[in-house]
Amino acid sequence: MMHLPDWLRQFTPAATVISNRERLRSAVGAFAGIALTSAISYWFIQDAHAIPYLIAPMGASAVLLFAVPSSPLAQPWSVLGGNTVAAIIGVTCALWITHPMLSAAIAVGLSILIMLYLRCLHPPSGAVALTAVLGGDAVHALGYGFVMAPVALNSLIIILVAIFSHYSTKHGYPHLANATKLDARDMKIPAELRFGFNSDDLNAVLKENNELLDISRDDLEKIFQQTEMHAYRRRFGEIRCRDIMKKEVVTVEFGTELEEAWTLMRKHNIKALPVVNKSNHVIGIITQVDFMKNANLEVYDNFEGKLKQFIRRTSGYHSDKPEVVGQIMSSPVVTAHMHMHIIELIPLMTQQRILQHIPVLDDVQKLVGIVTQSDLVSALYHGRVANLKTLGLSS
């Protein structure tokens, strides 16, 4: 049986995990939204003394638009569509149902139903429907004119203010479905390397719960992915690319002859050569796979003969055969930063099955090292063992 103090603790509000700057930004945005919506609507509506130029539900809309802009309930179509639909239904109920209590109840319930079907659910729209029914003689006198002004007008203005406010403070708004772009650190880890969920798991759970969440499915998945990546960093310690990369890198230039490049690979027993310019910026990479593809070595008959013929420089001035590295190198190149955590290399190395070498760059994008798959696997193993020893879970 739950004791009274434990029961009361359930009502304690959860901590809001945002900065003070974000709190202030939300408040200032809401202030600007309501102020500009009021001023523009007052100027636009000719008889603003007789007609309400700002409706109360705009205050609730401002909370969503400026404090929780990533919510599906705060997107432009939800605000404009939801408020407009609710206003139409509210006015219709007020005109056709004489009993105010019944009219109000039907207006709100029907508004929610239609908004769900039209995918424009917006909580303040319930108050819009009530305002249309219970707003008094001034609202009733407007009839369906109430839908356009002030409802649609207020909604459109506050949406435009929100878009400008979020854009000027470098916040993404509106949040479009399937439009969230993840950087290298947020890329999906392939299924065979994951220890947690995948997209199908998330879809299945959302379907099983069968409940509308106040967060988009894409944002929810992104948060889970970032959380999982954070957990990986915690498990494997703070090992960076600079800690595991090979610093002595053999490189070639665009005009390096193919025979010379192949000789360098054989001499140093390596499978890839970064291609750099005079400033040591990476412009490409040439691998054994590039040689095999271009020399048609995927068919293994007469392997050595084909290779020698391919890399040997052609005499004369004209040749259809590639002669230098720049003609067969892979470009653009997937690179890593020297301060990148090694866990972030996993999605980079697995986005292409043949990608086994990643050049490492410094703060000015110059080549400082290279990481291979074997370097990564060794680092993950030793990092995991060291972390377990620190936790006292391994001898």
CA-CA distance, 184 to 20, in Å (whole number)? 28
Tokens of 168: 């000027």
Tokens of 39: 């001023």
Question: What per-residue confidence (pLDDT) applies to 218?
Answer: 73
pLDDT of residue 233 exceeding 70, the answer is: no
Chain centroid offset of residue 192 CA: 22
Q: Give per-residue pLDDT as tens, 36-91.
A: 999 999 998 877 677 889 999 999 999 999 998 988 899 999 999 999 999 999 99
Question: What per-residue confidence (pLDDT) applies to 295?
Answer: 67
Q: How confident is the model at residue 181 (pLDDT cuts 50, 70, 90)?
A: very low
The pair phi, psi for residue 179, each rounded to 5°, is -110, 5
> Considering the chain, what percentage of its residues have pLDDT values greater than 70?
75
pLDDT of residue 184 exceeding 60, the answer is: no
Whole-prediction pTM value? Answer: 0.59
Question: What per-residue confidence (pLDDT) applies to 171?
Answer: 83
Question: What per-residue confidence (pLDDT) applies to 395?
Answer: 45
Residue the block writes with tokens 């309930």: 73
Question: What per-residue confidence (pLDDT) applies to 196?
Answer: 57
Q: Confirm if 328 and 294 have CB atoms less than 8 A apart.
A: yes
Average pLDDT over all residues of the chain:
82
Residue closest to 359 by CA, chosen among 379, 377, 378, 336: 336
Structure-model confidence comparison of residues 173 and 14, the more confident one: 173
133-153 core/surface letters (b: 16 or more CB in 10 A; e: else): bbbeeebeebeeebbebbbbb
Q: Give per-residue pLDDT as tens, 236-253.
A: 667 889 989 999 999 999
CA-CA distance, 140 to 118, in Å (whole number)? 26
CATH code for the domain defined by 243-390:
3.10.580.10
The pair phi, psi for residue 287, each rounded to 5°, is -125, 170
User: Which helix (H) or strand (E) element contains residue 43?
Assistant: helix 20-44
Structure-model confidence comparison of residues 57 and 311, the more confident one: 57
Q: What is the average per-residue pLDDT within 12-20?
A: 73
CA-CA distance, 98 to 151, in Å (whole number)? 23
DSSP track, 186-216: GSPPPGGG-SS--HHHHHHHHHHHT---SS-
At residue 137, what is the residue type? D
Question: What per-residue confidence (pLDDT) applies to 79?
Answer: 97
Give the least confident one: 32-46, 197-211, 253-267, 301-315. Answer: 301-315
CA-CA distance, 273 to 116, in Å (whole number)? 57
Q: Confirm if 158 and 33 have CB atoms less than 8 A apart.
A: yes
Q: How confident is the model at residue 320 (pLDDT cuts 50, 70, 90)?
A: low
Question: What per-residue confidence (pLDDT) applies to 236?
Answer: 63
Q: Confirm if 130 and 107 have CB atoms less than 8 A apart.
A: yes
The domains of the chain are located at 20-168, 184-236, 243-390
Q: How confident is the model at residue 7 (pLDDT cuts 50, 70, 90)?
A: confident
**Angle (nearest 5°) at CA 61 between 210 and 98:** 85
